[in-house]
Amino acid sequence: MTVQDDSKVFSLLGHKPSLFMVFFTEMWERFSYYGMRALFVLFLTTKIADGGWAWSNEDALKLYGWYTGLVYLTPIVGGFIADKFMGYRKAVALGALLMTLGHASMAIETPMFLYTGLAFLILGNGLFKPNLTSIVSGLYAKNEEKKDGAYTIYYMGVNAGAFLGIMLCGYIGEKVSWSLGFGLAGIFMFLGMLQFWFGKGILENVGLAPKEKYDLDDIDDVVEDAVEEVVEEVKVSSGVQRDRYIVVGVLAFFTIFFWAAFEQAGGSMTIFANKYTDRILEGGAANIFKIVDTIITLVPLLIITWVLWKLFAQTFKKISLSNIILGGSFAIIWGIVIWKLNREFSAETTEVPASWFGILNSLFIISFAPLFSKLWESKYNPSAAVKFGLGLILLGFGFGLLAFGAISIPQGAETAKVSMMWLIFAYLFHTIGELFLSPVGLSYVSKLVPAKLIGLMFGVWYLAIFLGNWSAGQLGGMIDKITSEYSLTTFFMIFTVVPAAAGLIMIVLNPVLKKLMHGVR
């Protein structure tokens, strides 16, 4: 068997070019998901005169919780289907097609098409989400030491898509047309599906259907993979594997607390931005915001475009059609961005869209993810429990800032004009907490469970995220009740105390969990 030169294999920013093809596929899916999510609660709660449906905050947030929860529940079935029958590649492509149909349905804006669209999105996510993640795991099956860094870069793709989706779908939905905002999400989901399907040729042998794995011409790779699987079974006893499953269960349990608070971003925090934050800017303040908004729009987009160019330089001969579709997609993005910035600079008064604050999480992820990727590969890489604990504590601190900022809001107030700086700082700490917990959680699952169960176990992991998202909707729906009976500060203090307490417990459990992991770091 020939030994490959690592400098050639990991030739794009220290990683495989195939990782970045998957990166852009995930980016378009997250563009569609977060673009729609940015509009969802706002559309449902906006007055009929302004094009919305005038739902109550409670009803809108409960439906939001069910939707954002169920898109993480169906991956349990989607992972099983891919593992046993379809393979990861076909499952990802079919999931993307279903989600495209879902976004198209929502753009019609009738109750029947709303629920039909949500159903397609939920089913499509079930096939797409665990299996694209599993492809990343497969690409690094023989390079465990690079997995944390690979998943953090992959997570940049998640947040690059969220950034662009919230910025463009949110802006168009709030300022131009709800239908156009929802429809834009579907267009890029469709383009992402085509880009992935025509680019699958650089995925090595990863993601094939089970029956296809043994129809390959490269017999050496098949034999090598089979031998490694047997050795792995010999090395890991049933007792060791049982302990590692326990660790996955503990991490998944505490993940519920994280997402129950973090997912207030698309719910109660969006309502806070819409009804309680001063978003009207004039004169110098408006000009400063326009300049800042231009910088934070163009700089990340330039960075992503640079990565795109690097990918083209190394893969165009192998996956030219995929690259052409990807390049065309970015040409459309640049066109919309230039139109948006020109439109805003022409206006004398600036009203910051309520959905705009959602891009801060993605912006901070794009900014800090490379730093964290390097940190996880250094000697300062903390253990799983410490990472999770710090992530929860930082999340709670962000809500503490919101609780303090809301002190001036009277009990039962339906509107207010609080400085937007409280939301900005809250998103900063929430993002740093997310980087400590979410991407490395995926990495630890891939390292703690047998390779043959990766898809299914990612589905189980998403079950915990389902519970967190569902809880976020139920708890967020209590915002009006708690605000009227107590205060908005009391509401946010719930999300301060609970995550921080859970984080402290995780840090205390660190020695026990390290022992149960049996050497996995």
pLDDT of residue 231: 63
Contacts of 206 (CB under 8 A, 6+ apart): 18, 88, 135, 138, 139
DSSP 418: B
90: left (phi over 0), alpha (psi -120 to 50) or beta: alpha
Residue 483 lies in a domain: yes
Residue 486 lies in a domain: yes
Number of domains in the chain: 1
Residue 195 lies in a domain: yes
Structural domain including 427 reads 16-204+236-517
pLDDT of residue 220: 43
Q: What is the pLDDT of residues 25-74, one digit of tens each?
A: 999 999 999 999 999 999 999 999 899 999 999 999 999 999 999 988 88
Residue 107 lies in a domain: yes
Q: 465 is written with which tokens?
A: 């995220």
Contact (CB, 8 A) for 468 and 258:
yes
pLDDT of residue 381: 84
Q: What is the pLDDT of residues 173-230, one digit of tens each?
A: 999 999 999 999 999 999 999 999 999 999 988 888 876 654 444 444 443 454 454 4
pLDDT of residue 154: 85
Instruction: Return the number of other C-beta atoms located less than 10 Å from residue 319's C-beta.
Output: 23
Residue 169 lies in a domain: yes
Cα separations (Å) of 88 from 82, 133, 138, 393? 5, 9, 10, 35
Sign of the Cα pseudo-torsion (409, 415, 418, 423, in order): positive
Backbone phi and psi for residue 12, each to the nearest 5 degrees, phi listed first: -115, 100
The Cα–Cα gap between 369 and 348 comes to 36
pLDDT of residue 452: 75
Which contacts of 55-60 are long-range, i.e. CB under 8 A and separated by 24 or more positions? 56/480, 57/271, 57/477, 57/479, 57/480, 58/477, 58/478, 58/480, 58/481, 59/477
Q: 193 is written with which tokens?
A: 């599906």
According to DSSP, the residues that pair with 333 across neighbouring strands are: none
pLDDT of residue 221: 47
Contacts of 491 (CB under 8 A, 6+ apart): 268, 478, 479, 482, 483
pLDDT of residue 460: 77
Residue 103 lies in a domain: yes
Pairing of strands 280-281, 350-351: antiparallel
Residue 10 lies in a domain: no
Residue 222 lies in a domain: no
The pLDDT mean for the chain works out to 88
In 3-state terms the chain splits into helix, strand, coil percentages (rounded to 5) of 80, 0, 20
The Cα–Cα gap between 415 and 502 comes to 32
Which CATH number fits the domain that encloses residue 429? 1.20.1250.20
Residues of the chain short of pLDDT 70, as ranges, are 1-8, 11, 211-235, 455
Cα separations (Å) of 373 from 198, 256, 262? 29, 24, 21
Residue corresponding to tokens 């409280």: 422
